């Protein structure tokens, strides 16, 4: 999971205008040593308008990331540091393991209302494991598998983020695409959230990848993907997903967009509403699917309102310039109203 | 072949310039193709550090092979046509890569898995042979341009320096310009084309070793 912005702007934290710069400074100091950081946090606390100080609990340099785990009161944050910016990967409320403090992660669970069955779930990109653990708590009978590239991330999630070894809950340490390539299983839900700080692995965003995903969906299965909307990479990612899955709905969650995609004909609004209320009743979910459904957005046909650039190219294994697309900012994206 | 004795007279300017320009382009293709290797391998073996380790070590293994073989061959046959043949063979190999890479990568993944064995085999299938051919370039070029022991340091330094500038250019141009504008397969054909032109130039070049 990645919130593509500095931690202090994140949900549940009232970030001041200068939060980004302060966070960069904090991140820099984090490298200089915890002692400096403690001193700085004492200084920053009034600026943050928070009574509780944010303390660095553990930092680790893994094969792939510089990982910092912070604690602020009862909330733990797993963050990756790059380029003096800290990217929040996951937030965990240690008093309540069914809380999803990050808004877009709630919308990832909207996939539950689309799927024909909810017996097996695959997540690509475990991070702090909040989404998969939420699903595990509310669907203890479902088989949940989450794939994570970085073994250190899994280790820290188990240490600080309330992740336990339980039946029906498996974390696999592997590249997401490689896992799919070698797996023969099919899933009712596939959740994709495999960003690493600012980096997007190109081989998890191509048409060939989504065709592989489609081949691993059970009948009536759906895909949910977190996409960061501020750059041209969003336009290409949406078009690429659409090239494989004809149906695509969108949910806007503070800074991130969740797209839910499926094969076959479009589901009618009444059909979806019934499915949402049925699952709300049977699963007793914390975050109501019926309420989420009210935020559902559809894109108009090609060339519509300017939500998606009509010139955006479909990404393939052959042509996937994710880094350069990510460098082109896309402001004033116009979204159609929820329907 | 002539050239068993090394003359004091420097190699002709045209020959020197042609060999150095070729050094630049061969160097550029060599590193450019290493960067491209990641685009061929990641979809099958993941985007992890292990895949990069496989790519880099394979490139260095190819250079090792090329240095030894190129050095041995040029002492027996001091002619730029060695470079021409090596470049032409590397060009042919690269030209065959786009059409064959996917089945080969799938086969290796299925047979050997995604561990170090699979990664090294896949990187070798992609890179080892063409880059070994290209690795012969530097020792051959040095031997062709060398006229006396008094210049040997300067000549060796110049060949390696120009080839390394080519490496840098190839890395950056492939990563920041070619990959965002044309696809990996098209870049592979461009690389093959550059090597083919280098091969023709080197085939037609008067042999600087005959100046003696």
What pLDDT, in 10s, does the model give residues A46-86? 444 445 678 999 988 887 788 899 999 999 999 887 656 77
Q: Please state the ipTM of this predicted complex.
A: 0.72
Closest to B143 in 3D by CA, of B82, B60, B64, B59: B82
- Looking at the DSSP assignment, which residues form a beta bridge with residue A60? A67
Residues of chain A with pLDDT under 70: 1-52, 82-84, 197-198, 300-305
With contacts defined as CB-CB under 8 Å, which chain A residues touch B181? 321
Selecting from B47, B180, B181 the residue whose C-beta is nearest the C-beta of A203 gives B47
Distance (Å, whole) CA A195 – CA A226: 9
Contact between chains at B43 and A316 (C-beta distance less than 8 A): no
**Distance from the B30 Cα atom to the nearest Cα atom in chain A, whole angstroms:** 19
Neighbours of B92 (CB within 10 A): 15
**Distance from the B110 Cα atom to the nearest Cα atom in chain A, whole angstroms:** 8
Contact between chains at A203 and B183 (C-beta distance less than 8 A): no
Distance (Å, whole) CA A38 – CA A42: 6
Distance (Å, whole) CA A89 – CA A86: 9
**Distance from the B178 Cα atom to the nearest Cα atom in chain A, whole angstroms:** 9
Q: Which CATH number fits domain A103-326: 3.40.350.10, 3.40.50.300, 3.40.50.150, 3.30.1300.10?
A: 3.40.50.150
Closest to A222 in 3D by CA, of A256, A191, A201: A191
Per-residue model confidence (pLDDT) at position B98: 96
Distance (Å, whole) CA B17 – CA B26: 14
Distance (Å, whole) CA A20 – CA A5: 8
Architecture of domain B13-209: Up-down Bundle (1.20)
Long-range contacts of A181-186 (CB under 8 A, 24+ apart): A181/A212, A181/B44, A181/B109, A182/B109, A182/B114, A183/A216, A185/A120, A185/A122, A185/A145, A185/A216, A186/A120, A186/A216, A186/A217, A186/A218, A186/A221
- Looking at the DSSP assignment, which residues form a beta bridge with residue A87? A6, A80
Contact A258, A3 (CB under 8 A): no
Contact between chains at B42 and A64 (C-beta distance less than 8 A): no
Selecting from A208, A319, A321 the residue whose C-beta is nearest the C-beta of B43 gives A208
Size of interface A-B (CB pairs under 8 A): 57
Residues A150/A153/A154/A159 CA torsion (nearest 10 deg): 160
Selecting from B39, B43, B176 the residue whose C-beta is nearest the C-beta of A177 gives B43
pLDDT above 90 (res B43): no
Residue A63 CA, chain-centre distance (Å), reads 21
Q: Which DSSP category does A235 fall into?
A: H
Per-residue model confidence (pLDDT) at position A206: 96
Burial of B31 (0-12, 13-18, 19+ CB in 10 A): buried
Q: Which of A63, A153, A236, A321 to mutate to test the interface with B (most CBs of B within 10 A)?
A: A321
Neighbours of A118 (CB within 10 A): 21
Contact between chains at B180 and A316 (C-beta distance less than 8 A): no
Mean pLDDT of B26-33: 97
**Distance from the B118 Cα atom to the nearest Cα atom in chain A, whole angstroms:** 12
Calculate what percentage of chain B has a pLDDT beyond 90. 79
Distance (Å, whole) CA A221 – CA A214: 9
User: What's the pLDDT band for B149 if we cut at 50, 70, 90?
Assistant: confident
Q: Which of B48, B110, B178 to mutate to test the interface with A (most CBs of A within 10 A)?
A: B48
**Distance from the B31 Cα atom to the nearest Cα atom in chain A, whole angstroms:** 19
Residue A31 CA, chain-centre distance (Å), reads 27
Contact between chains at A201 and B185 (C-beta distance less than 8 A): no
Closest-CA residue of A relative to B179 is A321
Contact between chains at B184 and A319 (C-beta distance less than 8 A): yes
**Phi and psi dihedrals of A72, rounded to 5?**
-135, 100
Domain locations along chain B: 13-209
With contacts defined as CB-CB under 8 Å, which chain B residues touch A323? 180
Per-residue model confidence (pLDDT) at position A255: 83
Instruction: Give the count of alpha carbons within 13 A of A22, CB side only.
Output: 17
Distance (Å, whole) CA A19 – CA A88: 14
Domain locations along chain A: 7-93, 103-326
Selecting from B48, B182, B186 the residue whose C-beta is nearest the C-beta of A175 gives B48
Per-residue model confidence (pLDDT) at position A3: 47
Selecting from B45, B109, B179 the residue whose C-beta is nearest the C-beta of A321 gives B179
**Distance from the A19 Cα atom to the nearest Cα atom in chain B, whole angstroms:** 31
pLDDT above 80 (res B121): yes
**Distance from the A179 Cα atom to the nearest Cα atom in chain B, whole angstroms:** 9
With contacts defined as CB-CB under 8 Å, which chain A residues touch B176? 324
Per-residue model confidence (pLDDT) at position A52: 63
Neighbours of B52 (CB within 10 A): 17
Contact A227, A209 (CB under 8 A): no
Closest-CA residue of B relative to A174 is B46
Contact between chains at A177 and B179 (C-beta distance less than 8 A): no
The helix/strand/coil state of B176 is helix
Q: Which DSSP category does B170 fall into?
A: H
């Amino acid at each position: 999971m990645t919130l593509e912005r500095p931690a202090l702007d994140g949900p549940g934290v009232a970030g001041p205008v200068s939060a980004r710069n302060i966070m960069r400074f904090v991140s820099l100091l984090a490298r200089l040593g915890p002692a400096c950081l403690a001193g700085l946090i004492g200084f920053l606390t009034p600026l943050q308008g928070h009574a509780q100080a944010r303390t660095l609990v553990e930092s680790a340099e893994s094969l792939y990331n510089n990982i910092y785990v912070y604690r602020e009161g009862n909330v733990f944050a797993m963050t990756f540091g790059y380029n003096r910016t800290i990217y929040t990967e996951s937030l965990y409320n240690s008093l309540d393991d069914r809380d999803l403090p990050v808004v877009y992660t709630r919308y990832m669970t909207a996939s539950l209302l689309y799927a024909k069955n909810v017996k097996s779930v695959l997540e690509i990109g475990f991070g702090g494991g909040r989404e998969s653990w939420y699903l595990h708590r509310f669907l203890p009978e479902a088989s949940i598998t989450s794939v994570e590239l970085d073994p250190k991330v899994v280790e820290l999630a188990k240490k600080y983020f309330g992740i336990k070894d339980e039946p029906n809950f498996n974390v696999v340490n592997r590249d997401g695409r490689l896992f799919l390539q070698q797996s023969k299983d099919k899933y009712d839900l596939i959740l994709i959230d495999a960003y690493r700080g600012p980096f997007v692995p190109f081989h998890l965003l191509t048409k060939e990848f989504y065709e592989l995903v489609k081949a691993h969906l059970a009948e009536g299965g759906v895909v949910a993907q977190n996409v960061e909307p501020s750059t041209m990479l969003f336009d290409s990612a949406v078009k690429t997903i659409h090239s494989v899955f004809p149906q695509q709905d969108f949910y806007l969650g503070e800074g991130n967009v969740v797209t839910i995609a499926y094969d076959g004909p479009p589901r009618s609004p009444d059909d979806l509403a019934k499915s949402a209320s049925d699952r709300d009743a049977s699963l007793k979910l914390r975050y109501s699917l019926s309420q989420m459904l009210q935020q559902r957005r559809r894109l108009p046909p090609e060339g519509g309102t300017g939500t998606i650039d009509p010139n955006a190219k479909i990404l393939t294994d052959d042509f996937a310039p994710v880094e350069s697309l990510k460098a082109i900012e896309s402001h004033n994206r116009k979204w159609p109203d929820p329907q | 072949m002539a050239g068993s004795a090394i003359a004091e007279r420097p190699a002709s300017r045209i020959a020197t310039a042609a060999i150095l320009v070729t050094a630049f382009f061969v160097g550029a293709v060599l590193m450019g193709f290493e960067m491209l290797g990641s685009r061929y391998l990641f979809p099958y073996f993941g985007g992890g550090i292990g895949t990069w380790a496989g790519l880099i070590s394979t490139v260095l293994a190819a250079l090792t092979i090329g240095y030894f073989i190129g050095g041995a061959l040029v002492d027996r046959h001091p002619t730029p046509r060695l470079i021409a043949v090596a470049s032409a063979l590397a060009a042919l190999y690269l030209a065959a890569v786009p059409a064959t890479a996917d089945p080969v990568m799938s086969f290796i993944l299925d047979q050997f898995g995604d561990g170090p064995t699979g990664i090294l085999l896949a990187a070798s299938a992609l890179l080892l042979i063409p880059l070994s051919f290209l690795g012969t370039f530097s020792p051959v070029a040095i031997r062709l341009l060398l006229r006396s022991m008094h210049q040997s340091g300067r000549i060796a330094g110049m060949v390696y320096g120009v080839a390394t500038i080519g490496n840098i250019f190839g890395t950056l141009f492939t990563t920041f310009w070619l990959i965002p504008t044309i696809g990996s397969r098209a870049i592979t054909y461009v690389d093959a084309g550059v090597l083919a032109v280098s091969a023709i130039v080197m085939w037609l070049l008067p042999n600087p070793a005959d100046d003696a």
